[in-house]
Amino acid sequence: MSELVLLRHGATDWSASGKHTGRTDVPLNEDGERQAELVGDSVRGRTFVLVLTSPLARARRTAELAGLHDLAVDDNLQEWDYGGYEGLTTAQIRQARPGWTLWLDSVTPHADGRPGETAGDVGARAERVIARVLPVLQSGDVALVSHGHFLRVLAARWLGLPPTEGALLALDTGTVSALGFEHAQPVVRLWNEQPARTTRYRAAT
């Protein structure tokens, strides 16, 4: 059975410090490049009929270091647009908005007035990605290289859950996850696998 393999990009200086990193094009740091290479070890030997990546450099570089080929950029795979909270940590945001959570509460607009995104907005993008890959999965495995919050929303929508339920699916940098089917039911087959800690991941049989 074909799988939709999700690769979260390696670490950046911003992700390591807990900053919300949406559309800012922050590069991988040294640890992130190492993580990306380990992700490559994890999926080496698998054949993907389609590899899609976010246009942001940290995702594209992860795909390259992981040894993935014939990359196609899909703008829908970009990270959540955090609006005016871009570059801030949750602790900093909660100084002004106690108890704030990205999943349930709004973000403030960018300085230029652009509104940022809600969970529903990100969910709509995730649905477009799922619609694109479903027909392709009939031919083989598909890989997506993207970002933590976006991939959590995508997994929730794959399972038929509201996008806000992505809050339940913690996802670290430099990890491998896989979505698939069991008796035609969409399921999670692997989640948040840290290649550095385990043997090479192989597709479920």
Low-confidence ranges of the chain (pLDDT < 50): 198-205
CA dihedral 68, 74, 77, 82 (to 10 degrees): 130
Note whether residue 30 is domain-resident.
yes
- The number of distinct structural domains making up the chain is 1
**Residue 189 belongs to some domain of the structure:** no
What pLDDT, on the 0 to 100 scale, is given for residue 200? 40
Domain enclosing residue 51, as ranges: 4-182
Does residue 160 belong to any structural domain of this protein? yes
C-alpha to C-alpha distance for 8 and 166, rounded to whole angstroms: 14
Residue-wise pLDDT for 47-84, tens only, equals 999 999 999 999 999 999 999 999 999 999 999 999 99
Between vectors from CA 144 to CA 197 and to CA 151, what angle results, nearest 5°? 75
Determine the pLDDT at residue 36: 97
Residue 162, both tokens: 């509201």
pLDDT at 196: 66
Please pick, among 3, 79, 117, 165, the residue that the annotation labels catalytic. 79
Is position 192 within any domain? Answer: no
Indicate whether 117 belongs to any domain: yes
Tell how strand 4-8 and strand 141-146 pair up: parallel
Q: Which of 9, 20, 147, 149 is catalytic?
A: 9
> What pLDDT sits at residue 197?
52
The answer to the question of residue 197 being in a domain is: no
Q: Are the C-beta atoms of 26 and 82 separated by less than 8 Å?
A: no
* Measured distance CA(176)–CA(194) in Å, rounded: 7
pLDDT for residue 5: 98
Residue with tokens 């990193």: 21
User: Considering the domain boundaries, does residue 196 fall inside one?
Assistant: no
End-to-end alpha-carbon separation of the chain, Å? 7
Q: Is 9 a catalytic residue?
A: yes
pLDDT for 135: 97
Model-level pTM? Answer: 0.94
Q: Both tokens of residue 150?
A: 């976006």
Q: What is the pLDDT of residue 204?
A: 36
20 given a catalytic annotation: no
Q: Give Rg (Cα) of the chain.
A: 16
pLDDT at residue 61, as a whole number: 98
Q: Is residue 205 part of a domain?
A: no
CATH number of the domain at 59, please.
Answer: 3.40.50.1240
Show the 3-state SS of the chain: CCCEEEEECCCEHHHHCCCCCCCCCCCECHHHHHHHHHHHHHHCCCCEEEEEECCCHHHHHHHHHCCCCCEEECHHHCCCCCHHHCCCCHHHHHHHCCCCCCCCCCCCCCCCCCCCCCHHHHHHHHHHHHHHHCCHHHCCEEEEEECHHHHHHHHHHHCCCCHHHHHHCCCCCCCEEEEEEECCEEEEEEEEECHHHCCCCCCCC
